[in-house]
Structure 1
Amino acid sequence: MSGPFVVKTVSKIHPGKAESYRPMVAEFCRLAEEREPRLLVFHIYVSEDQSSEVVLQIHPDAESMQHHLEVMGEKVRETFAYTDFESLEIYGQPNDELRAWLERVSEGVPFTLHETHWGGFTRLGETTAE
């Protein structure tokens, strides 16, 4: 059974940089929404003390993630002035190009790949009370 392609990254926000980083986050989210019509979910959560962030992405498939890297790669690199990558989790089957990318970006950080999807469902949009 094939499921969506899910990405979870955790990064440390450089001390004293959270407030200057926040407008970049807003711009990043706006551009991702504008440039990636197939991207299902994109959220950035920040800890209460603004010392770390978690980025959650849900793509319909690996090709959508590949597209994300192509259209947002430069913006991702700009975030490195504010954050340090700490861990990466992937849920789904990466294609060959993503496997090569994963090898590069996961070097030296905790990385977990969960390729096999045993089941589940995706419910996006508004739900109605029954």
Structure 2
Amino acid sequence: MVEDRNLSTEAAQAEKVLEGPKYTGQHMDIKERESGKMSGSTSKPIVIVDYSEVRKGKLEELKTAMNELVEFVAVNEPRMIAHNIYLNEDGTRMTVFQVHPDSASAEFHMKVAGSAFPKFVEFIRMSGVDIYGKPSPDLLERMRLKAQMLGSGTVVVHEPQAGFSRFGVPVPDAPE
């Protein structure tokens, strides 16, 4: 686990990093929620995986905060395909896995949920972010700011070379 260090300075910097509507834990108005289209949209899926070390003694608080955030995201971000949180066996490492239909959905997530991220400075130290797909310049900048705010993590973009996605397509039953 990561030891607490200079949290007040990090928290002060975190307040300035991400702009957008303030996360209150309350559900958004339906018009706000459904206006999820942002600039710089691409039509290809975006997968974002971030990795963080859990600060010593903060695991239970982190679990509570993540459950609240996931509930808010599930209700207020209808375009997001997946948002899953994973912890390793001893609770020292957290991985967040997001799947978006396009860069615009990920931008919307950063704007809607972004104001909740500063409180996570108390619970985690981000190690890195991997983005799979072609993020818009705005999304890439917001992800870099988030990584800077929550730790010293780097953001690595993995641009698509080949493949396909079947999101939203019914999967046939497996043969017996």
TM range (shorter): 0.7 to 0.9
TM alignment of 1:2-13, pairs within 5 A? 3-13=44-54
Q: Which amino acid is 1:74 matched to?
A: S
Amino acid at match of 1:129: A
Pairs within 5 Å for 1:88-127 = 88-106=129-147, 108-123=152-167, 127=171
TM-score (norm 2): 0.66
SS in 2 for 1:74: helix
TM-score if structure 1 supplies the norm length? 0.87
Deviations 1:57-108 (A, max 9, x none): 0000000000001110111222121011111100111112113224434554
Q: State the Cα distance separating 1:111 from its structure 2 match.
A: 2.7
Task: Extract unaligned runs of 5+ from structure 2.
Answer: 1-42
1:10-33 per-position Cα deviation (integer Å, ceiling 9, x unaligned): 001101110122111111110010
> Cα distance, 1:126 vs. partner?
7.3
Structure with the bigger percentage of strand: 1
- Matches of 2:144 and 2:50 in 1, distance apart? 15
**Larger Rg over CA atoms:** 2
Identity over aligned residues, as a percent?
Answer: 26
The structure 1 residue matched to 2:56, chosen from 9, 12, 15, is 15
Alpha-carbon RMSD across the aligned residues, in angstroms, is: 2.0
Tell me how many residue pairs correspond in the alignment.
129
Taking structure 1 as reference, are residues 106 and 18 closer, same or farther at Cα in structure 2, changes over 3 Å only? closer
